[in-house]
Amino acid sequence: MAVFHVQGVPIGGVAIMLALFASMGGFIFGYDTGQISDIMLMDDFKLRFAQCGTPGVLSTCNFSTVRAGLIVSLLSIGTMCGALIGAPVADFLGRRHAMVAECLVYFVGIIIQATSSHAWEQYAMGRFVGGLGVGALSAAVPMYQAEMAPPQIRGSLTATYQLFITFGILTAYCIAIGARELSNSGSWRTVVCIGVLWPLILSVGILFMPESPRWLASRNRLEEAQHSLARSRGVSLADEKTDNFIVREVERLRVNAQAEANIKSGWLDCFALEKKTLYRTLLGMSLQTFQQLTGANYFFYYGATIFQSVGIEDSFVTQIILGAVNFICTFGGIYVMEKYGRRVPLMVGGLWQSAWLFVFAAAGTAKVPQENPAIGKVMIVSACLFILGYAMTWAPGVWILVGETFPTRTRAKQGALATASNWLWNFLLAFFTPFISRAINFKYGFVFAACNLAGAIVVYFFLYESSDLTLECVDEMYTDPNCKPWTSRHWAPAGFATRQEYAKFKDAQDNEPSATVSHAESESTAAHAGVADKEEPVHDEHNW
């Protein structure tokens, strides 16, 4: 049964539940990201794994730059490898069963970390193994959500992945502040072992959700694809064969799968020039790179250390404040990405983030924060305002785009390449940040400010507006020679002046009692006809 309708399209409760369960993959990612910053400051962890001048004397224990960088960053190396492995696994096993397998890998990583005693190398390798699971999930989850979600709410449902990342980070901060007073290894082992719950919830819950109808259609399992669509749209199984909307959607999937059936796709196909495939691969990788270069993980990985250095006595509390801002503002990000599309929020976000990072860096460079409490407060406020902008734009926006920019045939592999790019830069920042911070201190913020400006420029010149379109129409838009990135928000399928007109046409046909499969076939044929015949309207990107 449909819970509600959006633009006349039924939305079932299963569509909401699958978004929530799948997003537990993001929660795992966020929890692992958030926990390490506080664990590195726990007394027992430092006594066991840091370099101590006098064994057993805490005041003489400190992590070398290399050791701290490796413990933090080996997770990212694992996630990069996992993201690349995740694509063929998701294509072979299906989206749901791939997630279950990846949760088991993450579980093994937790065991390796929790059983570490005094060898920091074992703990670091546990983070690497856990990273394999996290990386594979980061490739599979946004893809599954984009393929399952109705286009009318695809942005919101896919953005729940980022929302759960922020929730995971905040949860890790809260658990860490509660566990730090536990005696001996109970402090950090509690934080690590609680992480077992998250893959358990995901691996069990996702088995009750339907498989991606696009994946099923690509395997010629059209009846199962029909069941999957019916469940996510709230249509009863008794009505699925007569429901106009379901019949038409299945036909679209069949036509698309048939067109791609004889085309074998390998990794090299991600770099083909046809249909702007290479263009989109490089675009996805660039967006994921710039998401890391915004500087967000500078605060999430090393926030506790950063705020200790500006004179904050209890940096754990400051971390929770940052985490709460990140989590709460992501709700606003879901609204922004659904209301204003993809391009404008990313451009505005890049400018906003750049401005506040400039303030952060300038304040920290102008005076010594430890000797000027007012400067320290300015830095904390600017960091919070930076996180506000990031959480509402670049954080959810890039993950949405990874799910909806690529064609079905190569979506898994292109998504994996884009996500691997994210994790590569995640590793580079995690490992080299201690070295860079010691060399230039808070001037590091100027580097991130410049990267945010560059990201906004890339979005303006290269990213197409993909909101309110089916995944098949997004593919058509990218291959329309008359459509440019800065005019793409006005683009509509062939024969329609606007996307709103196309949506009304679809709604009218979907609600027509006489709508049949032949209508779906005729629309599919029209959609793939020469789009160059369509007269281009006057465009004005700046009419926001």
Cα 104 from Cα 200, distance rounded (Å): 9
Using CB atoms within 10 Å of the CB of residue 369, give its burial: 0 to 12 exposed, 13 to 18 middle, 19+ buried: buried
- The pLDDT of residue 278 is above 90: yes
Question: Is residue 236 in a domain?
Answer: no
User: What is the distance between the alpha carbons of residues 61 and 67, in angstroms, rounded to a whole number?
Assistant: 13
What is residue 537's predicted lDDT score, i.e. its pLDDT?
40
Closest CA to 86 of 133, 26, 123: 133
Query: Which among 423, 441, 442 is positioned nearest to 297, based on CA atoms?
Result: 423
Tokens of 265: 């796709």
In a domain, 26, yes or no: yes
Q: Does a structural domain hold residue 338?
A: yes
Per residue in 126-149, pLDDT tens? 999 999 999 899 888 888 887 887
Lowest mean pLDDT among 192-196, 239-243, 291-295, 444-448: 239-243
User: How far does Cα 22 stand from its chain's mean position?
Assistant: 12
Q: Supply the pLDDT for residue 262.
A: 67
Please indicate, yes or no, if residue 61 is contained in any of the structural domains.
yes
Inter-CA distances, 176 with 38, 192, 383, Å = 6, 10, 21
Q: Which residue has the tokens 């060399």?
A: 439
Between the CA atoms of 501, 504, 505 and 510, what dihedral angle is there, to the nearest 10 degrees?
Answer: 160
Helix (H, G, I), strand (E, B) or coil at 54: coil
pLDDT score for 457: 97
Domain containing 105 equals 2-214+266-462
In this prediction, residue 247 carries a pLDDT of 85
What is the token pair recorded at 363?
């304040």
Is 99 in contact with 203 (CB distance < 8 Å)? yes
- The share of the chain scoring above pLDDT 70, in percent, equals 86
pLDDT of residue 282: 96
CB 166 within 8 A of CB 23: no
Tell me whether residue 454 is exposed, middle or buried, using C-beta atoms within 10 angstroms of its C-beta: 0 to 12, 13 to 18, 19 or more: middle
Residue 33 CB contacts under 8 Å (≥ 6 apart), including other chains: 75, 165, 168, 169, 172, 297, 300, 301
Q: Are 90 and 140 in contact (CB under 8 A)?
A: yes
Cα dihedral sign, 144-149-155-158: negative
Q: Residue 449 belongs to a domain with what CATH number? A: 1.20.1250.20
Contact residues for 377 (Cβ-Cβ < 8 A; gap 6+)? none
**Cβ 426 vs Cβ 76: under 8 Å:** yes
Measured distance CA(296)–CA(402) in Å, rounded:
19
The answer to whether position 259 is within a domain reads no
In a domain, 517, yes or no: no
Average pLDDT of the residues in 178-196:
90
pLDDT of 166 reads 87
Evaluate whether 147 touches 8 at the Cβ level (below 8 Å): no
Q: How many distinct structural domains can be found in the chain?
A: 1
**Tens digit of pLDDT for each residue in 353-363?**
999 999 999 98
Which amino acid belongs to residue 438?
R
Angle separating helix axes 315-340 and 394-404, nearest 10 degrees: 50
pLDDT of residue 57: 86
Write out pLDDT tens, residues 84-109.
888 788 888 888 999 999 999 999 99
Range scoring the smallest mean pLDDT among 32-41, 141-150, 167-176? 141-150
How many residues are given for the chain? Answer: 544
Mean pLDDT of 116-128: 93
Closest to 145 measured CA to CA, from 163, 130, 133: 163
Q: Across all residues in the chain, what is the average pLDDT?
A: 82
> Residue 29 pLDDT more than 80?
yes
pLDDT above 90 coverage of the chain, percent: 31
The answer to whether the CB of 276 falls within 8 A of the CB of 478 is yes
Question: DSSP character for 8?
Answer: T
What's the average model confidence in pLDDT over 371-388? 85
Tell me the whole-structure pTM to 2 decimals. Answer: 0.74
User: Among 132-141, 265-274, 524-533, which is the least confidently predicted range?
Assistant: 524-533
Rounded-to-integer distance, Cα 424 and Cα 79, Å:
8
User: Tell me: the pLDDT tens digits for 42-75?
Assistant: 889 999 999 988 888 888 898 888 888 888 888 8
Give domain status of residue 450, yes or no.
Answer: yes
Q: Does residue 487 lie within any of the structural domains?
A: no
